[in-house]
Amino acid sequence: MFTKILIANRGEIACRVIKTARKMGIATVAVYSDADRDAVHVEMADEAVHIGPSPAAQSYLVPEKIIAACKATGAQAVHPGYGFLSERASFCEALEKEGIVFIGPKPRAIEAMGDKIESKKFANAAKVSTVPGWLGVIENADHAEKIAGEIGYPVMIKASAGGGGKGMRIAWSKAEVRDGFDRARSEAKSSFGDDRVFIEKFVVDPRHIEIQVLADAHGNALYLGERECSIQRRNQKVVEEAPSPFLDARTRKAMGEQSVALARAVDYQSAGTVEFIVDSEKNFYFLEMNTRLQVEHPVTELVTGIDLVEQMIRIAAGEKLAIKQSDVKLNGWAVESRLYAEDPYRNFLPSIGRLTRYRPPEEGQFGDVVIRNDTGVTEGSEISMFYDPMVAKLCTWAPARLAAIDAMSEALDSFVVDGIEHNIPFLAALMQHPRWREGRISTAFIAEEYPDGFAPIVPNEEEKAVLSSIATAVELLRRDRLDRLGGRLAPHSGVLKRDWVVKIGEDYLSASIFEGMISIPIELDLSIDGGKALTVASNWRPGDLMWRGTVGDRRVAAQIRPVPNGLRIAWKGMSVTARAMLPRTAELERLMPEKVPPDTSKMLLCPMPGLVVSIAVAEGQEVKAGETLAVVEAMKMENVLRAERDLIVSKLNAKPGDSLAVDAVIMEFA
């Protein structure tokens, strides 16, 4: 067994590998760029080596710097995590030449599975179900049209070297095949330097289900069940679960056995994932094989009890698998939510900044529920523009699917993150979605259910009653605390006022208190808008970020933040401003003029914090609708900002190379 390994990665996956290595008694070496000098993974590791500037292309993606760090520290092996160099066969070969072990598969397997056309040929040879299609060279648009006609519409045109949705087109007709072929080739050439494309049958309403495999260097291979990864946005996974609510035991076994056959065909030696698309009739087709640890591996670990990172290290050290297929049992249900630094209300644009508050829910086992949070940040960490926007992976396990989902819902409500925009409201809303809860999902779920993007959720009457009850209880304690301060002119008499009004959004709801005392813990009997009587109970104290308690028969965990004359309550994907006041104050409040936001229609605002890559116009220039105005880069994404209408540029406020905050004015129009 190794005595020291280097982790050629950063963030949560580097921390994840360090935890297992520490458990195994293996010393660890972290590498870091300028931006990660104070990162959590650097602090966790036994040693840390600086490898260059902040951009990944000058640090984490430079094999020579990783190898030099290994030599300097005496690391015998490298765990690549995922992303960066994890699927680069040349990196694996370079390590082997230096006598350093790559904790992952051999170069041949990486190369064979890294090319989509070659991997399908291997899959066909191993008798793995593949989507009907044409894997040979497609000469031109006429040839593409002929192939599509033979396969049957709709078809998918895909770049051979593709990934992340680039070089991919769906065609439903001859005309769309011709256009899609040209566009896919062009995109593939510019994105990957390889214009080869292939055509295959497009599966309507598909699910994305993947099989986890383990294989050692002694000919042993097995599968650890499946993960359902159909909840995706722009071909990126958002929520995963294990097992799939769709598969039966027979289909699971068939998919598992075919995955193992493919692993054997390429002499696979490590943890790997075979991805399939599955249609509504449970027909499954090979998509690709990921020759690395997957982001969503924790859900498999939670339902099998097997540490995949430990298995990877043991296999790389030459050990035989100590697990047989008959030992693998799927126990309970696990769900993973990916917490991203992005603004769900602005079409999920990236967000950067300092985590002024970062307080995840407590990890561990609580009754029948397990909570796990894989992260690489802590309070005070900086979310930079240089890397992937994923902040954490929150996982819950429970004996049954709905129990795991409900546990995830409460854990998301309890996850405190301030200082950046984040997607917790979207994830929390998703946990309440009927289609998700019923398991009626496909890869088109988010596009179908949120066609216009994610908008703030408007609470229904029952939810307004809960929010109003919380606001009333908080306001009573706030006033009581103020009245007890020394030097107050008119401390209250101690008699609890019965009638209150709570403003939620534009609605004014009456709150009538029947009984209760202002104390901690507080307990009140009240009615909202003449509805049924509710008992509100909580241990909340002024200053707490979390309000935990009960409203009627509902257990509630909500986040509250003070705002002028009220508070902001975040709960189950909702985020509302609530103001509890006396009836006379409410009368006067209704008469207040509405504050109208400033007119920004003649300005181009920066939609996210980022770096100005280019400005495509000059002062005085006439621009037509749809023309490019500027390009802003953030978190590995280039965002093209276009003119929404014909206009004239009157003033430029930014230049290439400028770092801008969200809503910074890039240019003004006449």
Question: Is 124 among the domain residues?
Answer: no
Pairwise CA distance, residues 83 & 65, whole Å: 17
Q: Check if the beta carbon of residue 312 is closer than 8 Å to that of residue 253.
A: no
Question: Is 114 among the domain residues?
Answer: no
pLDDT of 116 over the 80 cut: no
Identify the bridge partners of residue 665 per DSSP, sorted by sequence position: 605
Question: Is 598 among the domain residues?
Answer: no
CATH number at residue 640: 2.40.50.100
Among 381, 364, 382, smallest CA distance to 373 is for 364
For 169, counting Cβ atoms within 10 Å of its Cβ (0-12 exposed, 13-18 middle, 19+ buried), the class is buried
Average pLDDT over residues 280-294: 94
Can you give the pLDDT at residue 493? Answer: 63
Q: Find the catalytic residue in 288, 296, 301, 342.
A: 288
**455-489 pLDDT, tens per residue?**
989 999 999 999 999 999 999 999 888 877 777 66
Average pLDDT over residues 259-276: 96
pTM listed for this prediction? 0.86
Question: Is 126 among the domain residues?
Answer: no
pLDDT of 165 over the 70 cut: no
CB atoms within 10 A of CB 403: 16
pLDDT of 633 over the 90 cut: no
Residues 373, 433 within the same domain:
yes
Residues 324, 253 within the same domain:
yes
Pairwise CA distance, residues 367 & 362, whole Å: 13
Residues 168, 94 within the same domain:
no
User: Would you state the structure tokens that stand for residue 7, as one six-digit string?
Assistant: 């982790």
Q: Among this protein's residues, is 145 annotated catalytic?
A: no
Among 464, 435, 429, smallest CA distance to 448 is for 435
> 3-class DSSP state for residue 507?
strand
Among 588, 591, 460, 635, smallest CA distance to 531 is for 460
Pairwise CA distance, residues 303 & 305, whole Å: 6
| pLDDT band at residue 639 under the 50/70/90 scheme | confident
Q: Which residue has the tokens 């207040």?
A: 592
Q: What sections of 440-483 are H helices per DSSP?
A: 445-449, 461-483
Can you give the pLDDT at residue 558? Answer: 97
Residues 84, 140 within the same domain:
no
* Structural domain ending residue among the three candidates 566, 590, 614: 590
| pLDDT band at residue 494 under the 50/70/90 scheme | low
Residues 443, 467 within the same domain:
no
Question: Is 125 among the domain residues?
Answer: no
Give the C-alpha distances (Å, rounded to integers) separating 395 from 16, 208, 254, 309, 337: 14, 19, 27, 17, 6
**305-350 pLDDT, tens per residue?**
999 999 999 999 999 999 999 999 999 999 999 999 999 998 888 8
> 3-class DSSP state for residue 511?
strand
Pairwise CA distance, residues 378 & 391, whole Å: 10
Question: Which of 346-355, 571-580, 653-662 bottoms out in mean pLDDT, i.e. has the lowest?
Answer: 346-355
Residues 519, 428 within the same domain:
no
* Structural domain ending residue among the three candidates 274, 297, 331: 331
> Most distant CA pair in the chain: distance in Å?
88
Question: Is 110 among the domain residues?
Answer: no
Q: What percent of the chain has pLDDT over 90?
A: 77
Question: Which of 2-6, 382-386, 584-588 bottoms out in mean pLDDT, i.e. has the lowest?
Answer: 382-386
What is the count of structural domains for the chain?
6
- The single-letter code of the amino acid at 487 is G
* Structural domain ending residue among the three candidates 331, 356, 384: 331
Domain of 426 in residue numbering reads as 337-449
**510-555 pLDDT, tens per residue?**
999 999 888 899 999 999 999 999 999 999 999 999 999 999 999 9
Measure the CA dihedral 14/19/23/26, to 10°: 30
Residues 216, 319 within the same domain:
yes
Question: Is 440 among the domain residues?
Answer: yes
CATH number at residue 157: 3.30.1490.20
Average pLDDT over residues 632-641: 80
CATH number at residue 516: 3.30.700.30
pLDDT of 128 over the 70 cut: yes
Residues 320, 343 within the same domain:
no
Q: What is the DSSP string of 9-32?
A: --HHHHHHHHHHHHHTT-EEEEEE
Residues 322, 343 within the same domain:
no
**394-426 pLDDT, tens per residue?**
999 999 999 999 999 999 999 999 999 999 999
Residues 440, 525 within the same domain:
no
Among 472, 435, 464, 442, smallest CA distance to 571 is for 464
Phi-psi region of 90 (alpha: psi -120 to 50; beta: other; left: phi over 0): alpha
Q: Check if the beta carbon of residue 292 is closer than 8 Å to that of residue 213.
A: no
| pLDDT band at residue 491 under the 50/70/90 scheme | low
Residues 626, 523 within the same domain:
no
pLDDT, averaged across the chain: 93
Question: Is 108 among the domain residues?
Answer: no
DSSP label at residue 147: H
User: Would you state the structure tokens that stand for residue 318, as one six-digit string?
Assistant: 């030459």
Q: Check if the beta carbon of residue 396 is closer than 8 Å to that of residue 362.
A: no
pLDDT of 167 over the 80 cut: no
Residues 86, 195 within the same domain:
no
Pairwise CA distance, residues 637 & 388, whole Å: 9
Can you give the pLDDT at residue 131? Answer: 84
Backbone angles phi, psi at 657, to 5 degrees: 100, -15
Give the contacts of 418 (CB within 8 A, at least 6 positions apart).
355, 356, 357, 358, 561
CATH number at residue 80: 3.40.50.20
Cis before residue 583, ω within 30 degrees of 0? no
Cα angle value 339/341/345 (rounded, 5°): 95
Average pLDDT over residues 261-286: 95
- The single-letter code of the amino acid at 383 is I
Can you give the pLDDT at residue 385? Answer: 82
The H-or-E segment that residue 91 falls in is helix 89-97
Cis before residue 656, ω within 30 degrees of 0? no
Can you give the pLDDT at residue 636? Answer: 62
